[in-house]
Amino acid sequence: MGAASIPLLALSAAGQDATPAGGSARDEAEAEAAYVIQFQHPEKVYFYLPGFQDEAFLATMYGVDVDTYLAIRADFDAAAHGAAEELLADEAFASLVDALPFEPGSAVVAIGESDTDDLQSWFEILRHLVTMRRPDDGIRFVNHGISGQNTSQALGQMGVALAEQPTWLFCLLGGNDVLRNGFDADKTEVSIDETERNLTEMRRLATEGSDLTWVWLTRPPIDEARVATWPGFEMGGITFRNADVELVNDFIARQPETVVDIYSTFGDPSTDLLGPDGVHASLAGQAAIARTVVETLAG
């Protein structure tokens, strides 16, 4: 899957949490647009092309008018905000948000795939958590997750992420590397050796000669039973195996930097922290990731 292609992994998520809690009723066409708007943000990849920062242009790409486009985005942002509010209702957790080691004026950047690019992702929830509790600290959050990308493509995008001059950089990658094209495929899209080299080089580019703090997140588990019956995967002959995910996580666990163990947070792959396709986190799952990030860094 090249960066210019439509990422199958992201599109297969259509239908899970695609109409956020509290979202307004929409006709079928608008609901379908919402599925794509949740995960697909071409302005991140084609930022250098005229029009890709124009909301009216982007709305046309999604097949809706600009007011509908903005309303859909606002609904997902409201869902992330609501998830943050629920987490902050726990005073003990709220005190951990206060204790997060983000200095005032920090730039916090995330690189990742669809589970980070998601408009109601863990990173968006984290942004709301911090801005609600620490509104005067001026901490800037930049979501550089790009749906469908593997680590080879993410390596090619590192210059864009580093141009944000991050103080903190969160990395949640490897899910698309372990995609297998074909039910009897003998290899993953990216070999584990290449995944390790790509992640190592990204970390080197970001941290060499820098005071940047790098944070790893392990991959959540896969519900292989749900994957096998999900129409988007079944139609494309796409499979995922936890054995492949665990190889990526084993590499991450060996790194000297802070590791946020999302795999253990999710536990049994049949959990409702995963959505119907068995790969992407549900809104509850995204909130669980955000909680684990906070507890790991401040606990």
Q: Which two tokens stand for residue 142?
A: 């930049």
Cβ atoms of 274 and 281 closer than 8 Å: yes
Q: Does the pLDDT at position 72 exceed 50?
A: yes
Average pLDDT value for residue range 220-235: 92
Query: With bands split at pLDDT 50, 70 and 90, how would you rate the model's confidence at 165?
Result: very high
Residue 1 lies in a domain: no
Neighbours of 287 (CB within 10 A): 23
261-274 residue pLDDT tens: 999 999 998 889 99
Query: With bands split at pLDDT 50, 70 and 90, how would you rate the model's confidence at 227?
Result: very high
> What pLDDT shows up at residue 16?
47
Q: Does the pLDDT at position 162 exceed 60?
A: yes
Domain of 279, in residue numbers? 8-298
| Packed helices 28-39 and 66-88: angle between N→C axes, nearest 10 degrees | 60
> What pLDDT shows up at residue 8?
34
CATH of the domain at 81: 3.40.50.1110
> What pLDDT shows up at residue 20?
52
Calpha distance 40→106 (Å, rounded): 27
Q: Does the pLDDT at position 173 exceed 60?
A: yes
> What pLDDT shows up at residue 182?
81
Instruction: Output 29 or 243, whichever has higher pLDDT.
Output: 243
Average pLDDT value for residue range 134-146: 98
Calpha distance 126→119 (Å, rounded): 12
Q: Which two tokens stand for residue 92?
A: 């003990």
Average pLDDT value for residue range 283-291: 98
Q: Does the pLDDT at position 5 exceed 50?
A: no
Residue 2 lies in a domain: no
Cβ atoms of 13 and 40 closer than 8 Å: no
User: 3-class secondary structure for the chain?
Assistant: CCCCCCCHHHHCCCCCCCCCCCCCCCCHHHHHHHHHHHHCCHHHCCCCCCCCCCHHHHHHHHCCCHHHHHHHHHHHHHHHHHHHHHHHCCHHHHHHHHCCCCCCCCEEEEEECHHHHCCCCHHHHHHHHHHHHCCCCCCEEEEEECCCCCHHHHHHCHHHHHCCCCCEEEEECCCCCCCEECCCCCCCCCCHHHHHHHHHHHHHHHHCCCCCEEEEECCCCCCHHHHHHCHHHHHHCEECCHHHHHHHHHHHHCCCCEEECHHHHHCCCCCCCECCCCCCECHHHHHHHHHHHHHHHHC
26-54 residue pLDDT tens: 477 788 899 899 999 999 999 999 899 99
Q: Does the pLDDT at position 3 exceed 70?
A: no
Average pLDDT value for residue range 7-14: 40
Mean pLDDT, rounded, of the chain? 91
Domains: count for the chain: 1
Residue 3 lies in a domain: no
Average pLDDT value for residue range 287-292: 98
> What pLDDT shows up at residue 4?
33
Residue 104 lies in a domain: yes
